[in-house]
Amino acid sequence: MPTKVAIVGATGYAGGELARLALRHPEITLVAAIARSRQGEPLRAVQPHLHSAPESLVVGSDVGDAEVVFTALPAGEAAKQAQGWIDEGRAVVDIGSDFRLRDAALYERWYGYAHPAPALLAEAVYGLTELARERLRGARLVANPGCYPMASLLALAPALAAKLVTEDIVVDAKSGVSGAGHTVDDAYLYGTIDESVRPYGVPKHRHTPEIAQEAARIGGFVPRLTFTPHLVPMTRGLIATCYAPLRAGVTARDVADAYARHYAEEPFVRVTASFPATKATLGSNWCLVHAVVDEPSARLVAFAVLDNLVKGAAGSALQNFNAMRGYPETMGLEALPLWP
């Protein structure tokens, strides 16, 4: 029997993308689409690309008999409701930020609020699927990574795991405007963003402690991290360019071997022979990774590109769902990227 699923936050970009993927997943029945706005309207009217959504699937306020609840909500909102769903025997996959950090005090520092459910932070599995498969099986609560951490960590993970680099890590990342969510803020209007690139959130972007936390888990040391995100004038796509000093004696061959070995069996991460482009991942769950050595400075330069709404949000959430439920990890995610 397919798993009954609800999406809470179904009218946003990430929620809509999750619905698109869920509707074609052979082991999912989408039973509820939840949002504060547009209640009573068919989901396919609210999300105009969801042509195959049944007319009966309307935006509502009740998760019904869902066995798994996906949440795509503003910071702090999923944490207010997750314990109740878990107590009812449901599993929760949060695409938002509420369970990514293990230390509740970091939410006050970086997000500006006291965490509503700090006891759940220890239970939440950080869902970077490629590094968490065993912990995901049967999990009740999964924290989906942010889009920037997803790309940054996949770019750096082989070097961190192989102890090739030292602590001074710089991440320079650029994302399309859909990463900001479904908003009418002037900063994201066409006339503002067209033909313009700008940094934002420096030095207090909320993804900074998440990248540092998971880099420390992989590498076994606390990094000195500088993270600078930029907004670029495209709808989808994200690139993370990561810099780290190499340990003494590490060669370009060591780096190439570490990346090839680390991702040899991964269904959605490909190490490319040349510099990757965001467009080569459009609409897909693929992440493309490339690493080079800058010999004069003895630095690793590693790149990762992905679609911020798929691998950076809804696709990785569905990949985590597959791992949780024991389904093939690629189920429902087999589509290749769009081109051109």
Whether 147 is catalytic is: yes
- For residue 296, the surrounding DSSP H or E stretch is none
N-to-C CA span, the chain? 38
Please identify which of the residues 91, 121, 125, 147 carries the catalytic annotation.
147
SS3 273: coil
What contacts 23, CB < 8 A, 6 or more positions away? 30, 50, 52, 53
Task: Give the position of tokens 């080569």.
Answer: 280
Is there a contact between 40 and 55 (Cβ–Cβ < 8 Å)?
A: no
What are 224's two structure tokens? 């000195």
* Cα distance between residue 146 and residue 168, in whole Å: 21
Query: Facing residues of 58 across strands?
Result: 42
Spatial contact of 238 and 148, defined as CB atoms under 8 Å apart: yes
φ, ψ for residue 131, nearest 5 deg:
-115, 5
Contact 310, 283 (CB under 8 A): yes
Question: 279 φ, ψ to 5°?
Answer: -65, -25
Smallest CA-to-CA distance from 93 within 327, 322, 340 is with 322
Q: Which residues are catalytic?
A: 147
